[in-house]
Amino acid sequence: MERLAQRLGRDLGAEDISVVPIGGAHAAGNFLRRVGPRGLGLEVAGLCDAREEAHFERALEGAGMGSDLTREDMERLGFYTCVEDLEDELIRCLGVPAVERVLAAEGDLASFRKFQSQPAQLDRPIDAQLRRFMGTRAGRKAKYARVLVDALDLSRIPRPLAGVLGHLRVGGP
């Protein structure tokens, strides 16, 4: 989020916006109760993976931010769901050839090719292989989130990322 905001000419610090990891979907409830409307009263927004959406719905409800929330309700609150996960969103926006060029520029294409030849990967589509590869080494997901955002055409920002940044702007949603 921070790198994308920079690329869009935004200074989140100057806007008094902080990007903080919450420690996973299961920590969302505690986080939102602590900082949301019943806690510190801060404006919050975020991303979640599709498989974590139900956790976030319950967390938002438990923090007093609504009840019987739909995905559209969550988006009005500033919480956007990635189709699979952040890596999937970036891979789909960039396309596999562009992601492979990024891997090559980062010196990881040979490692990715070796990874692809593993028996567990042989029947998986290449986009799924790329997503899994990015999660195989500590720090790789964060690294590739940054470099894939750097490779993005800013006219093709993944909807969930654009939604969160649009929600978090000076003056609020």
pLDDT tens profile 127-139: 999 999 999 999 9
Q: Which residues contact 78 (CB under 8 A, 6 or more apart)?
A: 43, 44, 45, 46, 163, 164, 167, 168, 173
CA distance 96 to 99: 5
**61-99 confidence digits (pLDDT tens):** 999 999 999 999 999 999 999 999 999 999 999 999 999
Mean pLDDT of the chain: 94
CA distance 45 to 164: 6
59 pLDDT above the threshold of 80: yes
- The predicted model scores a pTM of 0.89
Give the pLDDT confidence score for residue 24 in this predicted structure. Answer: 85
Give the pLDDT confidence score for residue 168 in this predicted structure. Answer: 86
Ranges of each domain in the chain: 2-84+157-167, 87-151
Name the one residue in this structure whose structure tokens are 């938002």. Answer: 60
Percent composition of the chain: helix, strand, coil (DSSP 3-state, to 5): 55, 5, 40
